């Protein structure tokens, strides 16, 4: 028993490096996708202090809208543009009708409002697009769909799906773009000012309403990219919603306010989950993927209650 826990898995890793690498790659891809969802959370949390529970459903909603437009006969790229437009309208609507009336309320009330928003979007999505899973139009959007097998000498081979590589590249591009946006542009600086202090930002003439709409729109774009990537790997369906819960440990690991934190947190969770499931999951009957992420986050939190990259929590009485 002790052997199975402490030695067996490592022996297995060394004996079958190709399999181990495959597991690592799976973990990497899962981590990137978790990180993408977490990124949407971080954007909104940074700028408005709202923990946006609806991010998961926004991913589904964006994916469904894209597929929905395509199925009604619109060319793929135009459908993409139209979906971006829909996400913009959604961002404006959320800012106008949910966030603005609730300004300055306690965190938990805002959290509740986003959960209410989740219900609304679930209902709306199912009402407009139906509840069945849909196939993502990955090929039509020009994303690669094949796979490459890399041979590892005589030890076997590792299979890389092209769509996963594309996901990784897009995630890296997106993080870089967001980094530049936050640090170099006028709006990005305004966003950081709002994140630091709402009142001070207002007093130097930054429009909070405008900033929030922009931030929700950016989160919508991240959701769209995530929706395409997740959708290409499985189908676009409301089951993706559960993935949003996975973003929670990712966020907590990385700290709510840190963009690099979201990426690194995502990778830790992705790797930990896949390796744990494959090498240790069998000992307890499998399926531990559903909760391992939370336990990993919990262990990290016990040592660093503010997450790996979060700002230090200082409490005054």
Partner 1 sequence: MFYREAGQFKTSYEADQALFPIRQDRIGLAVILLIAFVGIPLTANDFVLTSIMIPFLVFSLSAIGLNILTGFAGQLSLGTGAFMGVGAYAAYKLTSLFPDVNVIVMVLCSGFFSAAIGAVFGLPSLRIKGLYLAVTTLAAQFFLEWCFIRIPWLYNYNASGAIEIPSRDMFGILVTGPEATPLTRYFIVLAITSVIALLMANVLRGRIGRSWMMIRDMDIAAELMGIRPLQTKLLAFAVSSFICGVAGAMMVFFWLSAAEPSSYSIKLSFQILFMVILGGLGSLSGAFMGAAFIWILPVVLKFVPGMLGFDIEAATVEHLTFMIVGALIIFFLIVEPHGFARLWQIGKQKLRVWPFPY
For the record, the structure tokens of 59 come out as: 């991913």
Does the footprint of partner 1 cover residue 78 (CB under 8 A)? no
Q: Counting contacts by CB under 8 A, is residue 121 touching partner 1?
A: yes
Q: Which part of the chain contacts partner 1 (CB under 8 A), choosing from 16-24, 98-106, 153-161, 267-275? A: 98-106
Give the C-alpha separation, 67 to 80, whole Å: 9
User: Of 24, 74, 111, 187, which lies in the binding site for partner 1, with binding defined by CB under 8 A?
Assistant: 111
Is 4 near partner 1 (CB under 8 A)?
A: no
* 254 interacts with partner 1 by CB under 8 A: no
Smallest distance, Å, CB 117 to partner 1? 7
Q: Which of 73, 106, 146, 153 binds partner 1 (CB under 8 A)?
A: 106
The correct pick among 120, 188, 193, 235 for binding partner 1 (CB under 8 A) is 120
Local structure of 149: helix, strand or coil: strand
Q: Which of 274, 300, 301 is nearest to 288 (CA)?
A: 274
Stretch that binds partner 1, among 4-12, 29-37, 79-87, 113-121 (CB under 8 A): 113-121
CA distance 88 to 120: 17
Q: What angle do CA 174, 181, 76 make, to 5 degrees?
A: 45
Which residue(s) pair with 147 in the sheet?
161
Cβ neighbors of 58 (< 8 A, separation 6 or more) are 40, 87, 90, 121, 219, 220, 223
Binding-site member from 1, 6, 127, 205 for partner 1 (CB under 8 A): 127
Which three-class secondary structure state does DSSP give residue 253? helix
Output the six-digit token pair for 79. Answer: 């459908």
CA gap 280, 10 in Å, rounded: 10
Does position 107 interact with partner 1 (CB under 8 A)? The reply is yes
Q: Evaluate whether 288 touches 296 at the Cβ level (below 8 Å).
A: no
**Is there binding between residue 315 and partner 1 (CB under 8 A)?**
yes
Among 29-37, 115-123, 183-191, 216-224, the segment contacting partner 1 (CB under 8 A): 115-123
SS3 call for 174? helix
Binding status of residue 123 toward partner 1 by CB under 8 A:
yes
Nearer to partner 1, 94 or 215 (CB): 94
Task: Out of 93, 131, 179, 282, point to the residue binding partner 1 (CB under 8 A).
Answer: 131
Residue 157 three-state SS: strand
Binding site for partner 1 (CB under 8 A): 51, 97-98, 101-102, 105-109, 111-113, 115-124, 126-127, 131, 245, 248-249, 252, 256, 284-288, 290-291, 294-295, 297-298, 301-302, 305-307, 313, 315, 317
């Amino acid at each position: 028993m002790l052997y199975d826990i402490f030695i067996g898995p490592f022996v297995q890793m060394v004996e079958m490096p190709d399999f181990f690498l495959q597991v690592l790659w799976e973990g990497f891809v899962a981590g990137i996708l978790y990180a993408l969802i977490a990124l949407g959370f971080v954007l909104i949390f940074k700028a408005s202090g709202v923990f946006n529970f609806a991010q998961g459903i926004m991913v589904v909603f964006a994916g469904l809208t894209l597929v929905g437009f395509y199925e009604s006969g619109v060319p793929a790229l135009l459908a993409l543009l139209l979906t971006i437009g829909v996400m913009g309208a959604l961002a404006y609507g959320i800012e106008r009708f949910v966030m603005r009336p609730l300004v300055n309320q306690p965190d938990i009330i805002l959290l509740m409002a986003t959960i209410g928003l989740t219900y609304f979007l679930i209902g709306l999505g199912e009402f407009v697009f139906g509840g069945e899973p849909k196939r993502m139009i990955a090929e039509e959007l020009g994303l690669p769909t094949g796979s490459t097998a890399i041979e590892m000498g005589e030890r076997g081979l590792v299979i890389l799906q092209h769509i996963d590589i594309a996901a990784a590249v897009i995630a890296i591009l997106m993080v870089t773009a967001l980094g530049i946006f936050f640090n170099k542009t006028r709006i990005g600086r305004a966003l950081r000012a709002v994140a630091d202090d709402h009142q001070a930002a207002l007093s130097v003439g930054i429009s909070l309403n405008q900033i929030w709409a922009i931030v929700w729109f950016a989160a919508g774009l991240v959701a769209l990219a995530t929706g395409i990537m997740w959708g290409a790997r499985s189908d676009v369906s409301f089951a993706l919603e559960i993935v949003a819960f996975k973003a929670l440990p990712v966020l907590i690991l990385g700290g709510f306010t840190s963009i690099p934190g979201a990426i690194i947190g995502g990778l830790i969770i992705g790797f930990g989950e896949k390796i744990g499931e494959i090498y240790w999951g069998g000992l307890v009957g499998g399926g531990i993927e559903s909760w391992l992420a939370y336990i990993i986050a919990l262990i990290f939190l016990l040592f660093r209650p503010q997450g790996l990259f979060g700002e230090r929590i200082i409490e005054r009485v």
